[in-house]
Amino acid sequence: MRKAQRLARHPVSVYPLVMTNDAALTRRRSDNPHEETWHIYFTDVRVGTIGVRAGVPVHADQWSWSIGFYPGMEPGTWRSGIAATFEAAREAFEAAWTELWITTPNAAFAEWRRDRDWRAAMSAKRARGEKLDSEIRSTLMRCVCGTTFDSWKPAESYQHRAHITAAHAANGTR
């Protein structure tokens, strides 16, 4: 079956709002024009996909679905399956989502959002040409006496050498 015929059977509009235990899902088409994939969202968290399977024989089920997001969900809790039609894949997805949504804590969604925001901040830093914090060399050290000093400045570091050497001798690391 050609792609145009498959698209004609289900419009490219927004996923019909589905209420499963107050868990509203929305569907957005993938940005990749070479694949027919829908990303499924619960509020702003992408929880899964429904799409045409690539490279399968025409007599095999053409649609696949999967539910899961990382970070947030525990490993092994994701669900997936295949179906003959888009409608069957959507129904299977919704049934699995209803089951999974009940057991997924709100903290899992919050963890995914924190990770998304952190990645966006890192990308923005890169786009501005800034170095990440981990790429900025620091010569600061903390002495066993609790003082922070610059190890590249002999006047600051000299007095702490005796503390550090004594601590290494005491715990056998030197």
| pLDDT tens digits, one per residue of 92-122 | 999 999 999 888 999 999 999 999 999 999 9
**For residue 72, pLDDT beyond 60:** yes
Give the pLDDT confidence score for residue 50 in this predicted structure: 96
For residue 52, list its beta bridge partners: 63
For residue 41, list its beta bridge partners: 26, 46
Residue 58: CB atoms within 10 A of its CB come to: 6
Give the pLDDT confidence score for residue 35 in this predicted structure: 86
Give the pLDDT confidence score for residue 23 in this predicted structure: 60
pLDDT band at 68 (very low <50, low <70, confident <90, very high): very high
**For residue 60, pLDDT beyond 50:** yes
**For residue 154, pLDDT beyond 50:** yes
Residue 63: CB atoms within 10 A of its CB come to: 23
**For residue 91, pLDDT beyond 70:** yes
**For residue 82, pLDDT beyond 70:** yes
pLDDT band at 174 (very low <50, low <70, confident <90, very high): low
CB-neighbour burial class of residue 61 (10 A; exposed 0-12, middle 13-18, buried 19+): middle
pLDDT band at 6 (very low <50, low <70, confident <90, very high): very low
Average pLDDT over residues 18-30: 70
Give the pLDDT confidence score for residue 152 in this predicted structure: 87
Percent of the chain with pLDDT over 70: 86
Mean pLDDT of the chain: 84
